[in-house]
Amino acid sequence: MSKHIESVNYGLEKIFKDAKDFLPLLGTDYVEFYVGNAKQAAHFYKTAFGFQSLAYSGLETGDREKASYVLKQDKIKLVLTTPLTSTSKINDHLAKHGDGVKVIALWVDDAKKAYEETTSRGAKSYLEPVVEQDENGEVVKSGIYTYGETVHMFVERKNYKGTFLPGYQKWESDYNPKPVGLKYIDHMVGNVGWGEMNQWVDWYEKVMGFVNFLSFDDKQIHTEYSALMSKVMSNGNGRIKFPINEPAKAAKRSQIEEYLDFYEGPGVQHLAVATDDIITTVAQLKARGVEFLPPPPQDYYDNIPARLGAHKDMMKEDIKELQRLSILVDADEEGYLLQIFTKPIEDRPTLFFEIIQRMGAKGFGAGNFKALFESIEREQSKRGTL
């Protein structure tokens, strides 16, 4: 049995005990992407991923600088933002990083206090607390920088009844492809530079009150060619989980290094979104044109019963069906999980999505890392970036 299993058992109770309560987080509020063409990106997320139109802001709502489309699927809210003029600072972000995640917004009860608690512990300010109002009430927002140019926005919405945020109007569309069963964000992963992982682990502990509840070193996460290290940070109630990766030295170029080269700095590597029925979700995503990493070899599927160990009889899914869809399986002592990874969703090999179904397991699929990374390396090799 690999080491990560012990670490998982080390457990969520310890998280509750060790996490500091100066920054209570109710959940993820939204994730904002800066993109080159928000109108077209919104069409992609509706058509391919089954997101629903929720809200809009732009010229029609009085914003002369940028247009934003808000999409929703169950608890997940994505905001896609594009600059409308050459003078917008968003252009600098886009020119440097390409399409990617700018804001991971966290839902809080008190955005002013969240700002004070984090900036007094060393966070760099992005937005001082500001009250925004419209006929539906008021929202308080504040923001701090995390790794790279990525931002955590704190959103307090207890006195707001509107669709999304002040400044946005409801977005009614005649084009409404069905959802694919995506429910909530399970975790969001950040890639940071060489030797910077522990610095950001310390930052999340000190500034945000998070705890490190899982660690993987380069001896656990490596293939014949490449390696990385990862530590998983969680807030006190376990709703927010941020694994942090850094590249490690190996014979060839780590996928994290490829990301850092093309994103031109640290940033969000993947969003893992949860489903209750991964077979249906993935079958629909594939039918709608979402591209996933190529499947692992046959022996991966032959070995699934052995990998599941005690949970073998608990598994409801048909292995042949999982193989047909290239879904991966991993287990820890508390259960198993099913997961699959998309190819990058933009031309730069940077951001991608993970679809995950947890059947009791609390880990991140460490047993799949080797198969997964070999699959990524085959893609890197095609790009000439291995």
For Fe ion, the closer of residues 214 and 272 by Cβ is: 272
Structure tokens at 108: 């809080």
Question: Does 272 contact Fe ion by CB under 5 A?
Answer: yes
For Fe ion, the closer of residues 257 and 354 by Cβ is: 354
Contact present, 132 and 141 (Cβ < 8 Å): yes
For Fe ion, the closer of residues 368 and 380 by Cβ is: 368
For Fe ion, the closer of residues 211 and 244 by Cβ is: 244
Position 361: which residue type? A
Distance in angstroms (rounded) separating the CA atoms of residues 47 and 166: 27
For Fe ion, the closer of residues 123 and 271 by Cβ is: 271
CB of 331 to Fe ion, least distance (A): 16
For Fe ion, the closer of residues 330 and 354 by Cβ is: 354
For Fe ion, the closer of residues 42 and 185 by Cβ is: 185
Question: Does 29 contact Fe ion by CB under 5 A?
Answer: no
CB neighbours of residue 130 within 10 Å: 13
Stretch 83-122: interaction string toward Fe ion, x if CB under 5 A: ----------------------------------------
Contact present, 342 and 294 (Cβ < 8 Å): no
CB of 186 to Fe ion, least distance (A): 8
What are the helix and strand counts (H, E) for the chain? 12, 17
Position 173: which residue type? S
Interface segment toward Fe ion; rule CB under 5 A; list 43-51, 105-113, 296-304, 350-358: 350-358
Stretch 36-55: interaction string toward Fe ion, x if CB under 5 A: --------------------
CB contact set of 189 (below 8 Å; sequence gap of 6+): 230, 242, 243, 244, 245, 268, 269, 270, 272
The number of C-alpha atoms within 13 Å of 157 and in the hemisphere containing its C-beta is 20
CB of 270 to Fe ion, least distance (A): 6
Question: Does 354 contact Fe ion by CB under 5 A?
Answer: yes
CB of 356 to Fe ion, least distance (A): 7
Count of residues that interact with Fe ion, criterion CB under 5 A: 2
CB of 53 to Fe ion, least distance (A): 27
HEC string of 235-275? CCCCCCEEEEEEEECCCCCCHHHHHHHHHCCCEEEEEEEEE
CB of 145 to Fe ion, least distance (A): 23
Interface segment toward Fe ion; rule CB under 5 A; list 30-38, 92-100, 255-263, 269-277: 269-277
CB of 188 to Fe ion, least distance (A): 9
Contact present, 254 and 228 (Cβ < 8 Å): yes
CB of 13 to Fe ion, least distance (A): 23
Contact present, 345 and 324 (Cβ < 8 Å): no
Interface segment toward Fe ion; rule CB under 5 A; list 207-215, 229-237, 298-306, 347-355: 347-355
Interface segment toward Fe ion; rule CB under 5 A; list 109-117, 119-127, 284-292, 351-359: 351-359
CB of 58 to Fe ion, least distance (A): 33
Sheet of 211-216: strand order equals 211-216, 227-234, 241-248, 182-191, 267-275, 352-359, 335-341, 328-332
Contact present, 212 and 218 (Cβ < 8 Å): no
Residues that bind Fe ion (CB under 5 A): 272, 354
